[in-house]
Structure 1
C-alpha cells in the first residue's frame, strides 16, 4: 500500500524474522500487506548500515550530495551577483562619460 510509513522497530522485526528463518518474505508480505521488494530493500538497508539502518542520520553519500548542491547554489548566487555588478559598473561608466 503506497504512502504508509513504518516504524524502525517494525522494519527491524520484519528483517529479523526473514533472517532467522521464522517466516518467509512471501508470508510476511501477505500478513502485513507489504511488497516483497520492500522487504528486500529493508534487508539490504540492514546489511549495508547495520545498527544505523532506518535512522534519520544522513548517509555519507547523501551528506556529500547535499553539500555539493549547497555549493552549486552558492556558486549560482555569486555568478548572479557578479553579473549585476558588471552591469552596474558599465552603466556607471557610461553615465560618467556623458558628463
Structure 2
C-alpha cells in the first residue's frame, strides 16, 4: 500500500523473522499486507548496514547522492553550452574574417 510508513523496529522484526527461518516471505506478506519487493529491500538494507539499518544516517547519504547527480547533470549542461558557444564563435569569426 503506498504511503504507509513502518517503524524501524517493525522492519527489523520482519527481517529477523525471515533470517531466523521462523516464517517465509510469503507468510509475512500475507499477514502484514506487504509486497515481497518491499521486504527484499528491507533485507538488503539490513545486509548492507547491519544494526544501523533504517536509521536517520541513511538520509544524508541519499541526499549527498542526489546532490552529486544534480551537479553532474549541471556540469553536463554547462559542457554542452560551452561546446555550442565555441562553435558559434568559430562560425562568427570565419564569416567575418576575424582570427
Structure 2 CA distance for aligned equivalents of residues 52 and 14 of structure 1: 16
Structure 2 CA distance for aligned equivalents of residues 9 and 47 of structure 1: 16
Matched, 1:47 2:47: yes
Matched, 1:31 2:31: yes
Structure 1 CA distance for aligned equivalents of residues 2 and 11 of structure 2: 16
Structure 2 CA distance for aligned equivalents of residues 4 and 63 of structure 1: 21
Task: Indicate the residue corresponding to 1:84 in structure 2.
Answer: none
Task: Indicate the residue corresponding to 2:86 in structure 1.
Answer: none
* Partner SS for 2:58: coil
Structure 1 CA distance for aligned equivalents of residues 58 and 15 of structure 2: 21
Q: TM-score, normalised by structure 1?
A: 0.62
Structure 2 CA distance for aligned equivalents of residues 38 and 52 of structure 1: 18
Unaligned runs of 5+ in 1: 73-99
CA shift for structure 1 position 67: 5.6
Task: Indicate the residue corresponding to 2:9 in structure 1.
Answer: 9
Q: TM-score, normalised by structure 2?
A: 0.62
Task: Indicate the residue corresponding to 1:19 in structure 2.
Answer: 19
CA 64–36 in structure 1, closer or farther in 2 if over 3 Å, else same:
same
Q: How many residues align?
A: 72
For the pair shown, the structure with the greater C-alpha radius of gyration is: 1
